[in-house]
Amino acid sequence: KQEVTQIPAALSVPEGENLVLNCSFTDSAIYNLQWFRQDPGKGLTSLLLIQSSQREQTSGRLNASLDKSSGRSTLYIAASQPGDSATYLCAVPGYYNTDKLIFGTGTRLQVFP
Amino acid sequence: DVKVTQSSRYLVKRTGEKVFLECVQDMDHENMFWYRQDPGLGLRLIYFSYDVKMKEKGDIPEGYSVSREKKERFSLILESASTNQTSMYLCASSRGDRVLSGANVLTFGAGSRLTVL
């Protein structure tokens, strides 16, 4: 059974720092991996999707990498800003039903001025 | 602007009440999902629908049922609400393309926070 883990559970950094959020998964046979952002009390917004054939995807100050063989993905945020404060979740498709996503528990990020 | 709309942001119900959570999407998506989100447990899939009148149990379907009479609407029903169903409920939708085409990007609603007293 696929399990998705995110470490750390919470992170607090000063504005301007570059930071890395980690996501690991137990079954490396994934089709893709997604990173989401969730603001307090809100739904999730898809940030990046990396296909299994890709090693990374970039969107603005965000860069996500994927290493299937080691069961890991990282989300790199450059020059963090207070507006980046949110919970970040990663998710992979289920093996038998790829329309369903399995989510990690998230990393709660706070960027202070 | 395309969106997934959950009709109620906050609800307070009493134990034993029947609760309806409604979700509507305007993207003509085939797939619709109901998740619940609890601290420390993350998002857990309750039910999933891949077409009108079609449904599939997720990881935690007990105590819930769903209805999808129209493509754009997916309802979650708590037949007899209990305190352990106090949670944030998130609806999402996605295209029905198979994952090999690079689809299954979910669009989420804003969430419905349910408190059962």
Residue of A nearest to B102 (CA): A51
Please give the structure tokens belonging to residue B104: 């299954």
Q: What percent of chain B has pLDDT over 90?
A: 69
For an interface test with B, the pick among A31, A44, A54 (most B C-beta atoms closer than 10 Å) comes out as A44
3-state secondary structure of B71: coil
Report whether B82 contacts B97 (CB < 8 A).
Answer: no
Q: Give the Cα separation of B90 and A8 in Å (integer).
A: 24
Report whether B107 contacts B32 (CB < 8 A).
Answer: no
Please give the structure tokens belonging to residue A64: 């996500």
Could you tell me which residues of chain A have a Cβ less than 8 Å from any Cβ in chain B?
31-32, 34, 36, 41-46, 49, 51, 89, 91, 93, 97-101, 103-106
CB atoms within 10 A of CB B16: 10
Nearest CA-CA distance, residue B99 and chain A, Å: 6
What is the per-residue pLDDT across A21-54, written as a single tens digit (0 to 9) for each? Answer: 999 999 888 888 999 999 988 889 999 999 888 8
**Peptide bond connecting A8 to the previous residue in cis, omega within 30 degrees of 0:** yes
Q: What does the pLDDT read at residue B41?
A: 85
